[in-house]
Structure 1
Amino acid sequence: MGKISIVGLGPGDYSLISKGALDILESSSRVYLRTEKHPIVEKLKEKIKYTNLDYFYEGEDNFEEVYKSIANFIIDQSKAGDLVYAVPGHPRVAERTVSLIESLANKNNIEIDIVASMSFVDAMFNYLGVDPANGFRLLDAFEIENAYIDTNTSMVITQIYDRFIASNVKLKLMEYYDYDQEVCIVNGAGIKGLESKKYVQLCELDRNENFFDYLSSLYIPKSSKKGYNTVHDVEIIVNTLRSPSGCDWDKKQTHQSLKNAVIEEAYELCNAIDNDDIDEMIEELGDLLLQIVFHCQIGKEEGYFDLREVASGICKKLIYRHPHVFKGEELDMNKFEQTWEELKRKEKGETTITDGLKRIPIHLPALMKATKVQKKAALVGFDWDNISDVFKKVEEEYKELLDEYKAGNIKYIKEELGDLLFSIVNLARFLDTDPVEALDSTTQKFIKRFEFIEQAALSGNRQLKDMTLEEMDELWNKAKKV
């Protein structure tokens, strides 16, 4: 295997490529350029022979695949001896192929040598007259969709090749910044005669009069307006509320005092979902998030855990329980729930199925708990063969309850009633119906019909307590037709 020397070509002006980079380019007979689209290439042609790899961009559907193909190609070419791989700017600044090549080289024991030149970021800050020591974040326009946007620090966004990309960047940024946030379009930073900058409002970024090409980047200064749009913002606010100068009510809260609020907020979110009310969902999700952050803040103050540990825990759990997604393992999706339970048992160190049944919270609403218990048992085959057997079981439990009632065995009535309810939960499961939702629906229907009865009585200047059951039953039958 030959050595791979990775050379930076600088931001674009010939005076900004390092002497070391020029020396190695001129002394090597095997030079590969990631792209020929770089201002100094015309002058380099006079001194070096090279192969450009622009053709890789035509054979793949996305940039990540292009970069992987180039990295594999360079590694493969190194088998024939030493070579030089040249990239625009600085090899370690916004150069995805370099990190891929280094990773492959480490696995194959191939020597790597990095020869730096000035990065386009250095040239950009020099041109803008901005000190990068104040902090900034460097983002790729093609990866911005999933990037963390922090309005409290300046940003440089690279690879804004055209107006279409600029439009996508604008839409993403407007989720975090005001429409009139000042941004700067920078073209050809560090290249004499090509440098240009234009300050515009964010909402104007993709207008026709703005120019973009392969040398275009975007600079966004730190926002003068505080944006509240991340979990970290919630964390900071809760920390302030719990501080010595914060709110007396917030400061005295504990895990115990807040536990019912978590349940309450969860139910209010369920109500918003049932109402299909998006605005209410946003509000209730915020309230639920507040409870999570609040508990994490208390845990942090007590020295037991914090939000980062909670986030780390759920991330690791999701990765562990989805080996088919994160580890490429084969998984029968028809048995996904069974596999999930098996992974959970291993994770919890449980040795029996019963351990999993006992793990279900005792304070979970009874119908929900019964459903979860039955589902876990069914995953290992402890279940009815068909729904007709379930109907028979409901009838059997009803008869046993009726018998105990007729016999006046008060001590057994509660037990038999529980058996009947448990069998009805089983029936709901076989009917693929949530028993909680079914009961809630009937309860709401009862309230609606009861309201009809009461309003009918009031319209006749009567109170319900003064009516006979037969009269109310007559109105009930009318309510059923409404």
Structure 2
Amino acid sequence: MGNLAIVGLGPGAFDQMTIGTIEKMKNADKLYLRTEKHPVVKYLKEMGLKFETFDKIYEKGSTFEEVYDNITREIIEIAEKYENVVYAVPGNPFVAEKTVEYLLKFLNGSDDIKVEVVPAMSFVDVVINQLKVDPIYGFKIIDGLSLDSIKPDKRCNNLVTQVYNRRVASDVKLKLMDIYGDDFLVTVIKRAGIKGEERIETMPLYSIDRIDWIDYLTSIFLPPVKNTFQERYDIDDLLDIMARLRSENGCPWDREQDHNTLKRYLIEECYEAIDAIENDSDENLLEELGDVLLQVVFHSQIANERKAFNFHDVCDAECKKMVYRHPHVFGSEEIATSDDVLKRWDEIKKDEKGLKSHANELKSVPRSMPALIRGYKVQEKAAKVGFDWDNVDDAMAKVYEELNEFKEVYKGEDESDKIEELGDLIFAIVNVARFLKIDPEVAVHKTIEKFIDRFKYIEDSAEKMGHKMEDMTLSEMDFLWNEAKMHNFNKKVQK
């Protein structure tokens, strides 16, 4: 059986190496260093230790993952050939060492190679000492190459490691500025604890890739953000702000609100977001989506105060729903088309909500929806079980039928008959819209905008003639209305 000892060379200074590590290296049949680029290597040479490195693999590899994988495979092959192999890595083997991670994964449960990991001092210990930071209050260590998947926590200390060069520093800077802002003060640490080589400087985040002394032993330290006024905020800041607004010393208006008083604002903000989309305005959409999010946070805070649920519960429930309702993405089901996705979504939703009948499914469409949208959705659900017209002509015939029925009652005195028949007529028109794949809500909004434009034309024309609309006859206004129609028609033709 081969023996593989994985040892750490410490953060950089020779006196920070452990006696155990030195003894292991002295007694090794084969000693390998991940890289010769480490300050203690010159001392190892002075001690007369014979070793080989894997620097040649760095020169051939196209990615770090490929390099680490190749080093791991070579170490395993070497450990299978020799009885006592020592593999030395910078710092502590368990801190920011991918090759060690890969080795332990591959050799887990192996009967051929016995692995021993010797503890060592890491660069983190030195950084903590030099910056006088107590990690008990929160200390997050992140590989600079992993910032896409592992995010810093603004509420605690963060150390971004493996900032090898200015290119990596530039990439790190751009990702961190999205979280902290451009001017946030960070500390750049190079060769921490190595006398005569250590360099520690505090500077604005935007400038970290402009310094020319970055090397493979460089890290970026980011202290906690404690100010109320920040260059960049995140969702946790929004939750904190809302909690403060609702607190005893918060805002009187915010404290007075409840779920019912906020209903109108939730609806209004959603429509304003839709308006921004229709106007193709990214600036307005950014703002309005924030307002929609604020309403979600507001309701979540109120519910939290009632001990019902909180914002994190909302996120948790939504994530679980998305995972469960996408078995073709997060599970093993195969769904090929968007139509099949929607069909499977409805099946899962019915099962979740315990909808045992088709009528119950229709009733599940919220009454609080705008009537045109609700009518459209109810008709869609009914059509899925075959309760539908064969074609749009049949749907149009129903419109005429309902129109005639409305004509019979609209001059009468029975209000309930008028309401019922008018509702039938509108519902029939929604059916036609559904057949033509036209959103009736959008269609009516376009008509309203068209009406406003033509009304403005009448008002502007009247003003040019020195008239007030209030003093004009309906016939005069109708003349200008038709003129406005022709004006709009000519504009369309010109386009």
TM-score (norm 1): 0.83
Paired AA for residue 367 in structure 2 = I
3-state SS of the aligned residue for 1:92? coil
Q: Residues 117-128 of structure 1: matches in 2 within 5 Å?
A: 117-128=120-131
3-state SS of the aligned residue for 2:201? strand
Counterpart position of 1:210: 212
* Aligned mate of 1:340, from 336, 345, 353: 345
Counterpart position of 1:274: 278
3-state SS of the aligned residue for 1:254? coil
Asked if residue 393 in structure 1 is aligned to residue 394 in structure 2, the reply is yes
Deviations 1:212-232 (A, max 9, x none): 221111223345754251111
Counterpart position of 1:439: 444
Paired AA for residue 306 in structure 1 = N
Counterpart position of 2:323: 319
Compute the displacement of 1:31 (Å): 5.9
Deviations 1:306-353 (A, max 9, x none): 111111112222222334444465431442222332333344344555
Deviations 1:66-107 (A, max 9, x none): 556766777788888986554322233233454555556668
Counterpart position of 1:93: 95
Is the Cα contact below 8 Å between 1:397 and 1:419 reproduced in 2? no
Paired AA for residue 141 in structure 2 = L
Task: Find the aligned partners of 2:165 and 2:67 in 1 and give their Cα distance.
Answer: 19
3-state SS of the aligned residue for 1:171? helix
* Aligned mate of 1:363, from 361, 364, 368: 368
Counterpart position of 2:21: 21
* Unpaired stretches in structure 1, ≥5 consecutive residues: none
Compute the displacement of 1:245 (Å): 2.1
Is the Cα contact below 8 Å between 1:338 and 1:379 reproduced in 2? no
Is the Cα contact below 8 Å between 2:406 and 2:422 reproduced in 1? no
Asked if residue 263 in structure 1 is aligned to residue 267 in structure 2, the reply is yes
Paired AA for residue 399 in structure 2 = Y
Compute the displacement of 1:449 (Å): 0.5
My pick for the range that moved more, 463-472 or 313-322, is 463-472
Change (3 A) 1:418 1:169: same
Q: Residues 107-256 of structure 1: matches in 2 within 5 Å?
A: 113-177=116-180, 179-207=182-210, 209-223=211-225, 225=227, 226-227=229-230, 229-256=233-260
Deviations 1:367-407 (A, max 9, x none): 2223333444566777677xxx21x0232112212432455
TM-score (norm 2): 0.81
Counterpart position of 2:492: none
Paired AA for residue 217 in structure 1 = S
Paired AA for residue 236 in structure 1 = D
Change (3 A) 1:127 1:464: closer
* Aligned mate of 1:55, from 34, 57, 61: 57
Compute the displacement of 1:267 (Å): 1.1
Compute the displacement of 1:425 (Å): 3.4
Change (3 A) 1:355 1:72: farther
3-state SS of the aligned residue for 1:360? coil
My pick for the range that moved more, 400-409 or 440-449, is 400-409
Deviations 1:404-437 (A, max 9, x none): 2455597777556545544543443454433221
Paired AA for residue 295 in structure 2 = Q
Is the Cα contact below 8 Å between 2:458 and 2:481 reproduced in 1? yes
Is the Cα contact below 8 Å between 1:187 and 1:196 reproduced in 2? yes
Counterpart position of 2:404: 403
Compute the displacement of 1:58 (Å): 4.2
3-state SS of the aligned residue for 2:401? helix
Task: Find the aligned partners of 2:436 and 2:59 in 1 and give their Cα distance.
Answer: 54
Compute the displacement of 1:146 (Å): 4.8
Is the Cα contact below 8 Å between 2:123 and 2:192 reproduced in 1? yes
Q: For the aligned residues, what is the CA RMSD?
A: 3.7
* Unpaired stretches in structure 2, ≥5 consecutive residues: 488-495
Compute the displacement of 1:441 (Å): 1.0
3-state SS of the aligned residue for 1:199? strand
Task: Find the aligned partners of 2:214 and 2:298 in 1 and give their Cα distance.
Answer: 46
Compute the displacement of 1:303 (Å): 1.0
Change (3 A) 1:333 1:40: farther
Is the Cα contact below 8 Å between 1:453 and 1:475 reproduced in 2? yes
Is the Cα contact below 8 Å between 1:404 and 1:412 reproduced in 2? no
3-state SS of the aligned residue for 2:262? helix
Task: Find the aligned partners of 2:49 and 2:381 in 1 and give their Cα distance.
Answer: 73
Q: Residues 442-453 of structure 1: matches in 2 within 5 Å?
A: 442-453=447-458
Deviations 1:191-241 (A, max 9, x none): 34432233333332222x422221111223345754251111111122122
Task: Find the aligned partners of 2:345 and 2:71 in 1 and give their Cα distance.
Answer: 39
Task: Find the aligned partners of 2:420 and 2:196 in 1 and give their Cα distance.
Answer: 89
Change (3 A) 1:65 1:51: closer
Is the Cα contact below 8 Å between 2:190 and 2:199 reproduced in 1? yes
Compute the displacement of 1:138 (Å): 1.9
Task: Find the aligned partners of 2:50 and 2:291 in 1 and give their Cα distance.
Answer: 64
Count of residue correspondences:
476
Deviations 1:273-306 (A, max 9, x none): 2223333323222222221111111111111111
Task: Find the aligned partners of 2:378 and 2:42 in 1 and give their Cα distance.
Answer: 73
Percentage of pairs with the same residue = 43
Compute the displacement of 1:474 (Å): 1.7
Is the Cα contact below 8 Å between 2:409 and 2:417 reproduced in 1? no
Asked if residue 289 in structure 1 is aligned to residue 293 in structure 2, the reply is yes
Is the Cα contact below 8 Å between 1:141 and 1:169 reproduced in 2? yes
Asked if residue 307 in structure 1 is aligned to residue 311 in structure 2, the reply is yes
